[in-house]
Amino acid sequence: MTLQTSPPEPRWQVSPEPHRIIVADDDDDMRRMLANVLRSDGYFVLEAKDGERLKTLIGAVTRADGAAPLALVITDHRMPGMSGLQVLEWLRELDWLTPVILLTGFGDRKLHKEAQELGAASVFDKPFDLAALRERVRELVNVVA
C-alpha cells in the first residue's frame, strides 16, 4: 500500500473542513505515530493520552459550535484510569452515531463481543495491519461524511 504523496483528496472539495478524529493511547509512540499517519492522510487529529482526557476531548469537540462533527474515535482498550471499553460505554449513553475503533493487545473473544455489543465499528488486535486500519478509517469517515 502506497501513500499519496500530495494531498489532492477529493474529500477536501466535498467537505470544507477536514474530518476530526480523536486518537487515544497511553503509549506516546503509538499515539503519535497513528496521529501523524492519519494527519498525513488529511485528517484533523486530536490526541488523548488516557481515558479521562478522551472523555473530556469528546465532550469538547461535540459541544463546540460550528465545528465539524466528530468523525471517528480510535482508542486503545488498556489505558490507566478508564479503559477504552468504558469510554465506549459512556459514549453510547450520549449517542450511537460516532464510530469507534478499539485497539487492543489483549483481544480475547469476550472483549471483541462486548465491543461489538456496544457498537464498536471495529476491533484491531495489536500488532495491527496499518494498511487495513487506514482503509477502515477511510470507510468510516466517508460514511459519516
Partner 1 sequence: MPLRSTRPGRYVAIASMAVAVSSLASGAVVLERWLRVGGSSRHDDALRGLDLLTLLGLGGAALVFAVFTGLVRPAIVAWSRRTRTEGEREASVRIDRRYREQLHALGDAMTQMAAVHARSREELGTETEGRVRAIEQLRHADRMRTVGALASGLAHELGTPLNVVEGHARLMLASPRLGPELREGAQAIADQSVKMTRLVKHLITFARRRGPSKEPTDMSALVGTTLAMLSTYAKQRGVTVLLEDPGDLELSVDASTMQQVLTNLIVNAIQATPPGAAPILVEVVAPRVLEPPMGEGRGEGAYAVIRVTDHGGGIAREDLGHIFEPFFTTRDVGEGMGLGLSVAHGIVQDHGGWISAASEPGATTVIEVTLPAFRTRESAWPRDRASVTPPPAAISSAAR
- CA–CA gap between residue 89 and residue 25 (Å, rounded): 17
Considering only 17, 95, 108, 139, the residue that binds partner 1 (CB under 8 A) is: 108
Q: Would you call the peptide bond into 80 cis, given omega within 30 degrees of 0 as the criterion?
A: no
The number of residues that bind partner 1 (CB under 8 A) is 23
Is 8 among the residues that bind partner 1 (CB under 8 A)?
Answer: no
Residues 6+ apart with CB under 8 A from 4: 41
- Closest residue by Cα to residue 52 from 40, 42, 60: 60
Q: Are 24 and 48 in contact (CB under 8 A)?
A: yes
Among residues 9, 11, 15, 40, the one that binds partner 1 under rule CB under 8 A: 40
Looking only at residues 61 through 80 of this chain, which bind partner 1 when binding is defined by CB under 8 A?
A: none
Which of residues 59, 80, 81, 105 is near partner 1 by CB under 8 A?
105
Q: Which of 2/16 has CB closer to partner 1? A: 2
132 is a contact residue toward partner 1 (CB under 8 A): no
* Residue placing its CB nearer to partner 1 in the complex, 108 or 117: 108
Determine if 59 is a binding residue for partner 1 (CB under 8 A).
Answer: no
103: its cell numbers: 485497539
CB of 18 closer than 8 Å to CB of 59: no
Residue from 11, 15, 27, 86 touching partner 1 (CB under 8 A): that is 27
